[in-house]
Structure 1
Amino acid sequence: MQHATAHRRSTLIAVLALTGSMASLCIGTSFAKSLFSALGAQGTTALRVSFSALILLCVWRPWRMPLTRANARAIALYGAALGATNLLFYMSLRTIPLGLAIAIEFTGPLAVAVLSSRRAIDFLWIAFAVTGLLLLLPVGAAAGTLDPVGIGYALAAGVGWALYIVFGQMAGNAHGGQATSLGLTMAALVVLPFGLAHAGTAMFSPTLLLFGLAVGILSSAIPYSLEMVALKRLHRRTFGILLSMEPAMGALAGLVFLHEQLSTVQWLAIASIITASVGCTMTSRGKREA
């Protein structure tokens, strides 16, 4: 009885931690979007990733751990993909709502999961994902006024996310904290030139540096920490199902903090992509939960 109660309490803590992680990420991204007028998407991305890297370098101190040449190469690729994904995603946010950008980006990891399985049931999830994308693409009156360039950036961010997963698995032999902190450092090296070229010295304004630190904490430090709490207590499949709710949470954050109104068709598109993600996770191969 006590064991069952402890298990339920542990699961509740994990669910709350993952929900808090997604909420922090979406709120941080909403806040970041408000900095675009001063720094542009490029400068905002550079500050966010750079501060995130500094925070995790201080936390993990990766130089204390041994690093093989193979792991270093994999982490460099993982970090480059991470930096490109962040930059492309923030570029998409200039012209399309947060929730829709997250939903479109989700098609990247969804494609990795489906292509690695190739079972008949996965064609159903492909159909849901494609339906969601077709509802968002500017191919008819139902699509509304979504910017095709913004959609293109979000799709490219999805490709970057897929590469991030592939390269992250290659770096799996390294310590998790070491890989994440060094990967973010590489990501910062990738995006900083774009930020400096666009925003220039404005990036070093004390006020904007403070805001950039807040974005880094909300978008990376807090989510990563809470995700670690959740991963230790939740089955991988349950974790994936809950994480699939992020597009909806992003849409709500965009509505509350950025006043981004979505049409009924756009909400249906988000629901279709979430269904694809949840379904793919639920039918994935792996150990069943106890």
Structure 2
Amino acid sequence: MVIKAIRPDGSTLEKTYVSIGGGKLMIDGKQPESAKDIYPHTTLDDIQHYCKKKYMRLDEYVTEVEGKDIDAYMQKIYKAMIKSVKEGLSKTGTLPGKLHLDRVAYALYESAKTCDTEADRDALLIQSYAYAAAEQNASGGTVVTAPTMGSAGVLPALVYHYSIDLGMPKKSILNGLKVAALIGNLIQENATISGAKAGCQAEVGAACAMGAAFVASLFRLSNEQIESAAEMGLEHHLGLTCDPVMGYVMIPCIERNAVASTRAVDAARLAKYLRNVKKNRVSFDMVVKTMNLTG
């Protein structure tokens, strides 16, 4: 995007902004400054060793490093996620752009009420919420980049379902968001969350890993089970390309958010029981590295 201001004397002032993926901008050819490092560990393996030594859960680790202000920030994130889903569900019509794609979040939400089984209903509800937030993104609404705009439907869908539908305690939700954020940060640190760099595996794959860790944290699974859930969430998106129709973040992007939201729940469930019968042969860190190499 080039922004040009014209002075009364005819001279101009111009700035050029280029999106380089992962929520970062290059301004007038200058790379963005690196974020300040505050975490003493850069791999989940190291974090797990630290937490085991101190008898600490992953959300407690985040609080220790970030400080008490993190709770207020997560509250802000929570409210924005809930709002993105609510607003997406309240709208119908056509999304902007040449695809003339219909909004379907509300129709899916209504369809969930007619499902024959509770399992089908819950799954379709979650997917309708993912559609709602993703459609907000596609129409220029406010979303939470968790981790990116193209994958902004996955985590809000889970947050909305477990908070609004199932009434889980707010503290549990906020602690789950801390764990999800930790997983996203590790992927950003050791690979990328940019679809431009590594394809949709880096966006929706990362979002699914974050969502799986969020759900596993909600149900107070062990740190090892949470890692297993996150690892599965990312592992089974390896190789997913970024190939949007006509360049819009709509097809297949919105549908991918819906699919990944329920895959996150499946990953958390499987991790809960799988870790009881076998140890993970592939670590989360290894999958992150593999995703980077694949990209």
Relative contact order, higher structure (CA 8 A, sep 6+): 1
| Higher normalized strand content (fraction of residues) | 2
Q: Quick check: TM above 0.5?
A: no
| Higher normalized helix content (fraction of residues) | 1
TM-score, structure 1 length as denominator? 0.27
TM-score, structure 2 length as denominator? 0.27
